[in-house]
Structure 1
Amino acid sequence: MARRAVTVESDDSQKENSGPRTSERVKMERSAKTSAKRETLQTHEADNDRNGDELSSNEEDEAQDEEDEDEQGTGSPKGQKRARLNVDGDGMPIKDETKGTGRAHELPRDDDGYIPGSIVRVQLYNFVTYDYVEFSPGPYLNMILGPNGTGKSSIACALCIGLNFPTALLGRASDLNSFVKLGADKGYVEIELKGKKGHGNLTIRRNLSANSKSSTFTLNGQSASGKEVNSRIAELNIQVGNLCSFLPQDKVAEFARMSPQELLRETQRAAGDANLTAWHDTLISSGKEAATLKEIALLELIIPVREYSEALKRYQDAKVEQRRLHAEVQRLKERNAPAHELLAKLKKQYNKLNAAREDKKKSAKAKFGAMKKKYDECDTLETEVQNYLNALDNLKREEKEIAKKISELERRIKNLDDEIANPPEMEDLDVLNSELRILAQAQREITHRQSELQDRQRAHANEVGKWKAAINEAQQGYIFLHESIARLNDVNHQKLQQLARWDRDCADTIEWLRQNQHKFRKPIMEPAIISVTVPDKAYATAVEACFGGTQMKTFVAQCEEDYDLLNHLVNDTDKAIGRRVRVPTWFRPYSETGLAPPPLSSDEMAAMHFDGYAIDFVECPQEMKWYLTKELNLHRTAIALDSKKVPVAQAMELVSRLGPRGEGGGATFIAGMTQNRVTRSRYGKRLPQNSTYDIKPARNFGQSSVDKDAMKRFDAQIATAQQNLSKLEEQVKGLTEEEARIRTEFNAKKAKYDEFMERKKAVQKTQEKLQRMEINRASAQKQLEMERNKPSVKDRRADLNRKTLINCQKRAKLARDYNDLARAVIAEQAEATRIGLQYLQIGANAKALEKLVKQHDEEFQTTYEEYTKVNEIFQAAKTESKEKLDISRAKLDAADPEISARFREMENNHEMDEMTIEGIRLELETQEAELSMNLNTNAGVIEQFERRKAEIESLSRTIEGRERRMAKIEKSIKAAQDNWEPALEKLIARIGAKFSAAFDRIGCAGEIRISRHEDFDKWAIDILVKFRDSEKLQLLTGQRQSGGERSLTTIMYLMSLTEEARAPFSLVDEINQGMDARAERLVHNELVEVTCQSDSRQYFLITPKLLPSLRYEERMKILCVNNGEWLPEERNLGNMMDMIDTFVQRQSRSNASA
């Protein structure tokens, strides 16, 4: 029976299968649509007619230029998986697969009995409880036995993790590094899978690290990625992630808690036709798509009707508010008119008085300007008169000063005449010049000698500079030497400071020991980090690699008494440094025969290109070498800086040689930056093993040490520098004495020359003084004549009196003019004051009235602005309501009858009353996002005159496209269902028959049913069981049945599924927990029966217990797991067949002896 995967919206939808297909129904019912749609819109049209009358008011204009918006198709989200559709939105045709009859396809079995994908071998290293194990399962039933805690479930974990399935499937630790054995750094899981017939096996190794949550893979020994591993696993159809194929211990209860829907999907994946899951997915996706298309059509019909209803409501509300505000605006305008008229009259009077006031102010300002001009002129004349009076006063003083000045000039001339007539005595200048010429000649000779002396001084100075430079160089070398020695001697101090930063206890102990060595019989050797140096820094890294962190800090005692005392004072008590510390100490009695000999002779060292042993490259106290050889084997550690020259394999063979008494067999050598530790196994053939480690650059031995050759060179340089310094000091002393003699002679000659020059300067100074006196006498005579020839004081006094009289006459006239202007200004100022007072009064009246008018106008303006806004809203609502009405009519005319019926039902039930446009649009977007293709709609801006017509055409095309799409979807659903449902029914029938028969054999009842539903994703498998005669069949759940009952049901279902399974192997872990002995025995026998047939697949059963006398088949393989501290190294000792043979032989011997 075909079922449609759609949600039932009403009783009408259930009748669709009995009528014609969707496309035919659309044609048949076109004529019946109009009456129903008109009936639906009858109320809306009546409302719109009333609105049309109201909207024809002269106060509003209809807006006709609003743009249309076409429907936009929305694609499905990228994250969704959809059935493939072609460009028309039709489902792609599904191939008519052969319907499954009988059991699943049988995989080809190789000669060894394994089928492709079976597990041939498992190897574990440092995995959970295992150090190392390797075993080979059989191709049929594998029973893994062992006590609790031995690691049986670890094998299930290994299969899951080794095949790159997530750890969440195990229900245990989620991090990969949690599966590495405690105490180990790394581990791995290696699984060998059977390949296809004629091809080699596939070996997968997954390497794990305890320090990282990541891992690496290899495929047949080649590095590979997790994706490559998954691809190869998928090719073999291995289903570790399916609880029907792989049921770990911690997931047994989860199987019963699986929902029936999950159980169906997992069963389809594990058994039956390989296309079951694909068919089911097609039905689910196509069914959802069909329901989504109907829901979209209904939502697209509801939206315009709801939009029109809301638009109509907005229009009616806006109209009421617009009418109210219009009336209010008119009332306020009429109320404010008289006040505006009075205000205009007052403003006119105010402006007229302001003009008259300004005229008076300008006239008064002009007169004030004339008055200021007269005042300034009068002030200027007054200043001139004062100047005249001052000049008259100055004439009296000037007359006295002139007489006094004439008298002084006459006295000065007389004095100068006396001095000129009686000049002082002075030497003859010619005689002095003659003497000076003689002295000049002597001075030139002295200068010549001085020049020669300076040349000699410069030559000596250059020589002295050379010797001084040599002295300075010797002194710098001397200083550098001592600084270098200080730095070299300070290395130990630097080491101690560095040690204190990372081990304060050890550093404090060293400092205490240096102050208290007297307390011990023999000196205690400081740790190697202080007392050991590597002169050649090229070997510092290799030598330091021989030391461990503790060995670097170990204090070495030379006798047992000192060893005990040191531990007592430092480690056991706080007597040494004030606190108890933990520092390593060491003592061994010295014995020349207690050391193992070096592994290589000198010739062998040279042949292997080793530079020497580590002990050859260190400097330390002799007492320290016993520790370095006995404890660290530095005399047995060969070092080569160039790793390329060392044949590692040959060196490994040489150093691992055994002595005559079996001693030796291992040593360490360093090649370049790699340390090789060669050992021999203590068991079996004792084969040599080589462990390599990368060494890090030296941190402690990399510092500089004292260079003794450098110290000798510095001593020689100091001695040479001191000899040169003595010679230079003697030469400098002689040059200095000669320089002093020359300078003394030069100074004497220069002093005598300076004396003659002073006498000549004295004669010249006297002559210059007489010349200045002649010049001064002529100047005084000229000034005296000028004073005697100045104008008469009496004439100047008469001229000043005349000018003063004229000035006073002018000032009198200006005073009369100023008085006339002042009287005129007073009259105009009085008139201006009167006009100003009147101006202020009218201005105050106008201002008060303007404030009142403004208050009224503000109320009017606010109301008017509100009216303007409401009117715009009203006009927009009017236009919008008309457009929404047209759109809703078009939508209803184009709607499918089924959608129209659903719409009318919702309208009659008032289901749309509470729906909002935003909510409907959101729901529509959600539904459209579920479709995998966009609807073909026009997305441009359409011309206004074609808007309504284009919209109707677009809606029609959309509806027709969806109807075609619905038809294709229904065809796709039928094709998939015709394949899937029969195949599923046959599979469940076969599984159910085996399941019921198995339950019958144990005296219980069980049944498996298919639970059908309108939605294909809700189809399910119900497992019903009955364990008591008094109860009915009940659905298996995670809570209803007991743990043993759930385990029994689970294993019965898995066994029923085994013959139909497609996976190459299956696993169940401790499924028999909680079962009684009877049920466990029956389950075991059933399992052996099902899994040991010739065509059975590989099966793993993990259990910690077994009942006696269970059924055994030759195809079974028993894997026993045990652990403990004393397991033998030989792997054959755990072989069951060998153990049985040994037991039989012992029994035979016992019987024979008896």
Structure 2
Amino acid sequence: MARRAASDDSLKENNSRVQGEAMSGVANGPVKREKRRVVPQAEDGHLAGPTALNGFNGVHDDGEDSNGEVDQEDEDEGGTPKGRKRVRVNTNGDGVPADFDEENEGDEDVKVRVKTRTFERDQDGYVPGSIVRVQLKNFVTYDWVQFRPGPFLNMVLGPNGTGKSSIACALCIGLNFPLAMGTETGHIEIELKSKPGRQNLIIRRNLSASSKANSFMINGQKATGKEVDLRMAELNVGVTNLCSFLPQDKVAEFARMSPQELLRETQRAAGDANLTSWHETLIGAGKELAQVTEMLTSDRDSLKTMEERNANLEREVERFKERQKLQHRLELLSLILPFMEYVEAKELYTATKEVQRKCHEKVRRLKERNKPAHALLAELAKQHTDYGRKRDKAKDASKAKFQEMKRKWAENERLEEEMTSLVDALDDLKKKEKRRISEIARLENENKMLQAKIDNPPETENMDMLTDLLVPKVNEKNAELQYRQKLHIEESSKWKSQVDSGLKGLRDLDDVSARKLQHLAGIDRDCADTIRWLRENRHRFKLEIIEPAIISLTIPDKSFMNAVEACFNFHQLKTFVAQCPEDYKTLNNLIVDTTEALGRKGRINTWFRPNSEHTLVGPPLSPEEMRQLNFDGYAIDYVQCPDGLLWYLKKELNMHRTAIALNGDRVNVGHAMGAVSRIGPNGEGGGANFIAGRTIHSVTRSRYGRRLPQNSTRDLKNARNLVAQAIDPQVKQKLERQVAEARRKLKDLEGEESKIAKEEQDIGAEGRAIATRQEEIKVRKKRVSDTLKSIESWRLKIAGNQQKLANHRAVNSAEEERADLKKRLLDCGKRRAKLARTYINLVRGAINDQTEATRVGLDYLQIGANKTALQNMVNEHDEAYQKAEAEYEKANRAFQVAKADSKEKLEISKVKLASCSDEVKEQFKEMEEGGTARDKTADEVQAEMETVEAQLAMNLVTNAGVIEQYERRKIEIGNLSQTIEQREKKLEKIERSIKSARDNWEPALERLVASIGEKFSAAFDHSICRWDAHSHRFSGVSCAGEVRITRHDDFEKWAIDILVKFRDSEKLQLLTGQRQSGGERALTTILYLMSLTEEARAPFALVDEINQVSITIVFSVSRWFNRRFRVWIPNTNGRFTTNSST
């Protein structure tokens, strides 16, 4: 057998790998080529029944034909016999398709089936489908090899890299596995045993490195992948069952199978061929039974509820009908009541009308009898009224005279006061004249004195000359010096600013935050300007506005830089985070909506959400799960930022749910995907992102169908925005040159500054001297100014006095004023005399008016007395009249009330009659015609109405649609009863189907598990489980194993439990992927697979790699199971030796 040096894949194999093949060929090593001897296979007799662990045929996956073209039917079936029904094995060991035996499936009388035979062996010991020969060319590690496995157990032992797993790959993988390096073509040729008397089946698959095109050949003839699949199905060969085919990477998976999966895989591999179909029938029928039972229970409950409701409705219907009768009676009574009230009101109206008319007639007669006396009384009343008006008129005239006399008296008193004041004025006239002459003399003397001062003023200097003494030369020098100082200060400030800006630029180059801001300004000017503005205007906000993550977020551990930045998109890196809604509105208003902040409208990203961390979905993995899956931590754990930004990172970016693993090779992506896609108890979760190495995984769940998890990946890019920007050397040199040049200019300016200071001192001294002279001149100017002001005030005083003199001289002389006062005094005397004459006339008129008023008053009193006497006499005669009139008023009021009441009740009756139904109107008409409508009074009708209303109150209100609902539900009850009857029949049919399938499946499964369990327990009884590494032998501790069925009401949860123990101190424990060690799981796997060999339906089985500890045990058990096996072991000289055991 020729083979290449061990490849990298081969070196990964364990030292304890075991395979069952016998090999021959030539190996090609990296240093030298060496040949290995092949020992011919012994022709020993064998026990009946196929063996496990002797290889498997690999079939193609994509179904390409011999010309490299894809067969459409093969594509649909996936290139494997998965979609095809398994062949069953009859009692003769012949393979028969499952469909051919379905007619016998429903035989309920067959309680115990004949034990199924596995396969019929030929004279050479092989069963149909066994691998007789395998040939490989340029496949994986082999240049060329051909070997013939024995008909029983075959084991290949050897160190890593000897090509044991390559043989297993050749038997199972087909098309898409790699060729050996440096070769263009290769092939896999497998020879399978056919039925006795037929030619063996030789399948050859040609492989090419240059393309995926390949071809199949069967017995030297070209064939398609589908034809190969059909031949494999006939021989019952398959790779999907771990009980028949257990490659290297599936050994651990077998132990991790759940007991339910183990039962299904065991059924597919061994026992009655119908076990799986029976089980699937039971599962499907069980689910259908549960559904039908649930629906039937629900329908029965619904039927019971509807029947109960209709039973209740029957009572409701009776009550409804009774209520309708009461309502009809009430409606009729409500029409009779206003009718009877109107009848009674009309009778009362007729009676009161008659009484009113009689009283009216009596009043009329009495009134006619007293009419003459009443006429005289009316005449006296008229006269009494006329004299009353005359008396009042005379009184008014007298009062007017007295008022006029009062006014004249007041006017006389006023004139008297005026005459007194005129007499007093005549007495004061002489004194006033003396005062006027004295004031004129004083003013004339004062004017002469002031004019003398003006004519002889004090000596004064020339003001113009004093002003010219203020020489402005010093001011000109000072202005020139100040201008030079200003230029010097501006120049000095300019260069100092250059130095400061350069030094600040150099400091900013050393400041990471400043470099980030400078870098951001080149990318997004608005964002950078907003950050600078915010730093200077923090007082305008209630809370701090968090700067974007590109500035405010740091990553202490730089190894996580790429992973953390991958959680952001560029817009999220530039987002400003507000911590309250007011600040959010203010920021958008100042930056985005107006030009107040930046001088222009900016475009920035802003974000605010109320902080409610209890609403966040928690991390998808617990800390323990993170450690088990080899994740380093969540993205949120590796950043430092303000607290306000943490809420944004969790809410918007889910960084608390993004797991990171720097070493992606240590992460099992499948397990991680399953963990992060779990759905929580409240429906939360279902997906998240995680980063493994240089790959970003986004796990989501489909929104439809089974909502399976989906994983999309993308490469992790290097961080560009969160890393600190490098210092630009050109920028640094430019800033350093700027600082040096500015400092040189400042040094030059220092010399010029001393010159300016010296000139400033000289000019200051000269200015101080001139200032002293200016103070003296100011004092002299003030003296001149004060003198001029005094002269001006004297002139104004003289002008005022002249005006006062003119006023005094313009006053009239005393004689003229005295004559005027006497004239006014005489005029007042005349007016008082006239008033006296008028007053006398008024007194006389008042006396006459008062006399007339007294006379008229006496006449008024006399007529009044006469009227009173006549009134008393008339009253005596009118007493009977008044009594009759009172009776009339009373009768008239009763008549009017009865009249209004009858009209109102008539209208009420009409309205009520119009609102009644036709049926009530007709019944009322019949009662009216028959006279029964008036059998009861209104009070009796009212009492009956109250009785009916009370009965209605006790009769609960029923929906008007109750009859319709009752009839509709009655129809629904009938339909639902038919549905229940149909489902009960269906339920009986399903139960019969379940009973039939279970009667066949359960005994067959029990026989199969009993057979497997018997051999499995016996195998443990004959094996030793603990390996002593020092003595290189097994210790004396016995193992124990048991296989049993776990039953459940749900047939899908039936299971096969494998219970094992490997220590004296422990009890039998369930085999799991975690409880037992790897060697214990491998041993248990081998023993279980060997225990089901006699019941197996596959012509061969394969297990790739069992550990070294289990090899001797397998030898021991194989002797007990089969009595025959062959072991191939490579010698130290590179050749294989064989060892056969019986």
TM-score class normalised by the smaller sequence: 0.3 to 0.5
Give the TM-score taking structure 1 as reference length. 0.34
- Greater Cα radius of gyration, structure 1 or 2: 2
Greater RCO between the two (CA within 8 Å, min separation 6)?
Answer: 1
Give the TM-score taking structure 2 as reference length. 0.35
